[in-house]
Amino acid sequence: MYTNKPIVTFIENQLFMIKEKSEKTENKCELQKILDIIGGKWSMSIIYALAFGKRRFKELERLIPGISTRMLVKELKNMEENDIINRKAFATVPPTVEYSLTEKGRKLLPIINELYQWGLQYGITEQKNISK
């Protein structure tokens, strides 16, 4: 449902009508809620990079070709807020931070593997030797 109600405002005895921006009511599909958490361009790559254990920030940055530092920070914060990854900071100079998957994040690994297999089946992805 969209709302489109004008707002009437009086400033110094003058009448102003401001058209309110159309807003869609919060009625998201359940799948969209999931995609908001793990549907980012880099989310699956980050989850997969953490599948083999803890990684430091620079390790993740090197393992995921094409990701910018800014985008990696943004995706990691989003996944941490949604309990997909753990972030552990160490009081060292320079600061050291390790990331790992939570139990909730590890449960995504079989799903990611199924997506990969689907891509292989339909010629979207290529078979690669994947190791640590």
Q: What is the pLDDT along the chain (132 residues), one digit of tens a residue?
A: 445 555 555 555 555 555 554 445 467 788 898 888 888 899 999 999 999 999 999 999 999 999 999 999 999 999 999 999 999 999 999 889 999 999 999 999 999 999 989 999 998 888 776 544
Domain range 28-121, its CATH number among 3.40.50.1980, 2.40.50.100, 2.40.30.10, 1.10.10.10: 1.10.10.10
pTM over 0.85: no
In the chain, what are the domain boundaries? 28-121
Output the six-digit token pair for 39: 């549907």
